[in-house]
Amino acid sequence: MSKKTLIPIGPYHPLQEEPELFRLYCDGEIVKDIKWETGYNHRGIEKLSESKTYEQIFFLVERICGICSNSHPFAFANAVEEIANIEITNRAKYIRSIIGELERIHSHLLWVGLAGHFLGYNTVFMWAWKYREPVLDLFEMISGNRNSYAMFKVGGVRRDIEETKIPVIQNILDEVKTKTDLLTGAVMDDPVIHARTRGVGILTKQDIIDYGAVGPTARASGLAIDVRKDDPYAAYPLVNWKVITAEAGDVFAKAEVRLLEIYESISIIEQCLNGLKKEKAGDISLKVKEIPEGIGNGRAEAPRGEVFHFVQSDGSNSPVRHKIRAPSYVNIATFKKSCIGQTIADATISLAAVDPCYCCTERMAVAYDLSSGEKIMNAFELINESLKKTDELKRTVKTHL
Amino acid sequence: MNTELIIEKFKEKFNSEILRTTVKNQKRVIITVLPDSIINVAEYLYRTEGFRFIIASALHTKNGFEIHYHFSKDSIGLILNIHVILDKNSPQIESLSNMFNASNWIEREMHELLGINFLNHPNQEKLISEGNWAEGVYPLRKEFK
C-alpha cells in the first residue's frame, strides 16, 4: 500500500504578499490534494480603513503589498475619484501610468528571478534582480522611496517629474531593455527551461473563468483580459500598446507573457514621457474639498492582475465600507487545478507561476509521514527535488544535442 | 453589445425581482434585486451573458446586511453590482459556489466576518482565522443606536 505524505509549505516568508500555508497531500511523488490556510498575519485593513480619512487611506493601502505597493493606491484613487466624479489633469495621468508601469517592470523581473531560482538557475535569479535594481533607483529619484512611493492622492499625484529627470529615466529604460533582451533570450532558448516549464501546471481557459483568475495568469491561458485595456484609466487610453497573451496556460506561457509585458511597459513609459513634455509643469493635482455620498468601484491592473477596491461613502471624511480584493486572492485558488497530479518537483514552479512567493519552502517546509508522524524530508531536500530534476534534464538534453 | 442593451435585457428577464436600478454611467451600474433571485441572476450573468465574477462586498447597515456582488463584462469594461439586502436578524442567502469557484473563499470570508449564512455552500469553514476567534463574534458587524 502506498504511503500518503503531507507536505506543508509556509506559512511565513517576508516576500509573500500574504503569509499562507499550503498542505500538499502526496502519494509517492504525485500531489493528490492541496489545502490552503491563511490569516496568519491578518491586519484588519478593511476595518482600519473605516477609521481613517481618505487622505490617510492612501498610506494604509500602500502597505498591503510590498512588491506592487502602488497598485492599491491606484485602484483606491480610481474608486474615490469615481464617487467624487473627478477627472484628473493629463500630467497627473501620465505620472500615474509611469509609476504603474515602472512597478510592473520591477515586479516581473523579480518573478523571473525567483522562477529561475526554483528551477535551479541561480544565474537567472542574480541577473534579473541585478537588472531590477536601476528601476528601484528610478523610484528613489522620482518619489524619494525605493518602495511605498506615496505618490498618489485624491485628485492627482504628490510629486511632479521634472523635465531634467526625463533623460535619466530614458537612459535607464534603454538599459533595462537591453538586459531584458538578454534575459528573454536566455529563458526562451534554453532547452532545459522548456523541458521544466512546458506542459507543467496547465490552467485551461475554463479553469480561469471558473476561478475568476486575472492578470498574467489569465492572459497566459488565452484570455485577453487587462483592466488597462478593458476599463481604461490614467494615461492608458492616451498611449498605444497591446495586450500580451499566450495560449498554452503552462508555466512557460506565464513566463513568456511576463517577459513580453516588460517591453510593452517600457513602450508605455516612453510615450508617457513624451506626453509629459507637452503638459504644463506642476499641473499635477486638483483641490478636492469633500467626497460626496456614493459608491465607487475602482480597479487597476497590478503586475499580478486586477486589483479591485469597493468604497461606500456617506459624505463624511471616511468610508463606511472599503472592500479590497488583491489579484492573488483569486489566482491562488487555481493551485487546486494546476498542482494536483503534478510531481512534488513540479509543484514548486506551478505554485510560483501565479507569482506568490514560494521561498518559504527553504525555511519552513518539513514532510511528515502521516501514519507515524515521522519527519521524512526537510525543507532543503524538498527544494533539492526541483534542482535535481533540472540537473537530470540538463544531462539528458545535452546527450540529445 | 452595449450597456443599455444588457440592462434592457436584464430588466426584461428579471422584471418582478428588481427593486432599483442605478445607471451611474456606461461602465458602472448597480441593480438591487430580491435575495431569493440571486442564483437565477448570477446564472444568467455568468452563463448566458459571459460576465466574470470579480468579488462580493458585504456590509452592515441600518437596513440590515447588504451584499454587492461585483460582476465584470470585460469586453466593454462594465462593472455590474448586483445588490441584495438581507434580513437584520438572520442574514442568509444561497451560495454561488456551486456555480463557480470564484465565490468560494469570499463567501467563507463574509460568513466569518459578518455572520452571513450561505446556504448550500460546499465547505463553509472559516477562511481567515482557522478557528482562533471566538464563536459568534463578527468583526465587521456594527452597533446602531
* pLDDT tens sequence across A46-59: 999 999 999 999 99
Nearest Cα to Cα of residue A193 among A249, A252, A113 = A252
For residues A8 and A106, the model is more confident at A106
Does the pTM of the predicted model rise above 0.80? yes
Helix, strand, or coil here: B54?
Answer: strand
Calculate ∠ Cα A242-A244-A248, nearest 5°.
155
Across the A:B interface, residue pairs with CB atoms under 8 Å apart total 79
pLDDT at B136: 84
Candidate from A105-109, A244-248, A363-367, B27-31 with smallest mean pLDDT: A363-367
Which three-class secondary structure state does DSSP give residue B58? Answer: strand
- pLDDT over 70 at A218, yes or no: yes
| Average pLDDT value for residue range B82-93 | 94
Give the residues across from A309 on adjacent strands.
Answer: A298, A324
- Residue A106's alpha-carbon distances to A146, A169, A179, A309, in angstroms, are 11, 14, 13, 23
pLDDT for A361 beyond 50: no
Q: Which of A273, A293, A328 is the last residue of a domain?
A: A328
In whole angstroms, give the CA distance from residue A74 to residue A92: 12
A379 shares a domain with A252: no
Domain CATH number, residue A391: 3.30.390
pLDDT band for position A325 (cuts 50, 70, 90): very high
Task: Tell me: do A195 and A179 sit in the same domain.
Answer: yes
Which of A3-12, A188-197, A369-378 ranks highest by mean pLDDT?
A188-197
Same domain, A235 and A302: yes
CATH fourth-level superfamily of B3-89: NADH:ubiquinone oxidoreductase Nqo5 subunit (3.30.460.80)
C-alpha A331/C-alpha A354 separation (Å) is: 6
Cell of A340: 494536483
Q: What is the pLDDT of residues B14-48, one digit of tens each?
A: 999 999 999 999 999 999 999 999 999 999 999 99
CA atoms within 13 A on the CB side of A242: 5
Instruction: DSSP letter for B101, please.
Output: G
Question: Could you tell me the sign of the dihedral formed by the alpha carbons of A111, A348, A363, B125, in that order?
Answer: positive
Is A160 found in the same domain as A239? yes
Domain shared by A70 and A200, yes or no: yes
Residue A14 banded pLDDT, cuts 50, 70, 90: very low
Q: What is the pLDDT of residue A366?
A: 38
Check CB contact under 8 Å for A320 and B61. Answer: yes
Residue A7 has pLDDT above 90, yes or no: no
CATH number of the domain that residue A136 is part of: 1.10.645.10
Pair A98, A210 in one domain: yes
pLDDT of amino acid A373: 47
| Domain match, A98 and A237 both | yes
For B62, name the nearest residue in chain A, comparing CA atoms only: A320
Tell me if chain B has a CB within 8 Å of the CB of A243.
no
Residue B10 has a pLDDT of 96
Mark A345-365 as b/e (b = at least 16 C-beta within 10 Å): bbbbbbbbbbbbbbbbbeebb
Average pLDDT value for chain A? 86
Q: Which residues of B touch A310 (CB under 8 A)?
A: 55, 57, 68, 70
Could you say which of B24, B59, B105 has the minimum Cβ distance to residue A329? B105
Asked which of A280, A300, A328 is the last residue of a domain, the reply is: A328
Q: Which of A298, A328, A358 is the last residue of a domain?
A: A328
Let me know the angle formed at the C-alpha of A72 by A71 and A76, rounded to the nearest 5 degrees: 120
Is the model's pLDDT at B13 over the cut of 60? yes
Number of structural domains, chain A?
Answer: 2
- Residue A200's domain comprises 45-328
Mean pLDDT over residues A322-333, rounded?
Answer: 89
Mean pLDDT (chain B) is 92
